[in-house]
Amino acid sequence: MAASVKISAPSKINLHLRVYERRPDGFHGIRSLFQAVSLADTIVVRSLKTINTVAIEGSFDCPAQDTTVYKAITAFRNASGIGTGLSVKVEKVVPAGAGLGGGSGDAAAVLRALDALFDTRFDTKELAAMAATVGSDVPFFVEGGCALVSGRGERVDRMVSREDFALAIHFPGFPMGSAEAYRLLDRMRPEDSGEADPAAEVLKAAYYEDPKLWPFANSFEPFVAVDHPAIAAIRSKMSELGAFFSAMSGSGSSVFGVFPTARAARQAVKSLESFGGSSYLAFPLARLPALD
């Protein structure tokens, strides 16, 4: 058994996000193109001599025991029966409430780290099943890359990921919780809007086309942007700076722009600093980073 494991926890953007009406189980159905990106937290997991102890260190927007990190530890313990004490240190880079899946990425990374730490050798399907008990988006991060995600987020159809563009991501400084965004959507769009809903195969084929031709959209964006006009302003700035495509990610509040080169994206990141908040250069990830 390793003494400790260090792992990178990538985030994601939603290139496309169609949200359907609330289902009888209380969840909303979605159809979304998830793209893992290089903007990432760093997590170090160590075993402790004490039994059942869990010490979590990091800058979170909630108590440690309410984090996805703690929930992932619980899911792993339930599946493995291992109760060894743990120390988990999370170096946060991905902002919370940004629509970038930071918490979900952290949870999946912790599951992978624990599997390596204790050499339990769970396969991808088993890790994904644990991930699904933590949160709807977590199964995607077990493998990362690109995928068409549906259901409430638990159905993940893997795709070959592109690596031929760069990203500027801007977090405007205010969080937008997913629960808040869903409530806003239900209030402002009480019935399914009948918005454009390309078929799964259409979305998958479009992903490999020129980003200037992408038919992608985000169901949340028109409604979130009513209360937060900065989102539309940032998108407009992205286009002005040469983005081939831009959109809000997830339920917000981050906005991303797709650029043809790292240089163009880096210049956009610098220009976006005038909006306040935080700007990041990122790249699409075809595979998850290796564990140390």
Smallest Cα–Cα separation from 60: which of 70, 45, 73, 47? 70
Q: Are 262 and 168 in contact (CB under 8 A)?
A: no
C-alpha radius of gyration, the chain, whole number = 19
In terms of phi and psi (left: phi > 0; alpha: psi -120 to 50; beta: otherwise), the region of 151 is left
Phi, psi (rounded to 5 degrees) for 164: -105, 25
Q: In what order do the strands lie in the sheet with 166-171?
A: 245-248, 255-259, 166-171, 278-282
- Report the alpha-carbon distance of residue 27 to residue 22 in Å, rounded: 6
Q: How far is CA 273 from the centre of its chain?
A: 22
Residues found in the chain: 292
Smallest Cα–Cα separation from 221: which of 173, 190, 191, 189? 189
User: Known catalytic residue: 137?
Assistant: yes
Q: How far is CA 132 from the centre of its chain?
A: 14
Neighbours of 78 (CB within 10 A): 11
The single-letter code of the amino acid at 186 is D
User: Known catalytic residue: 164?
Assistant: no
The two tokens of residue 2 are 């390793």
Catalytic residue selected from 6, 12, 157, 270: 12
Catalytic residue selected from 92, 137, 204, 212: 137
Q: Which residues are catalytic?
A: 12, 137
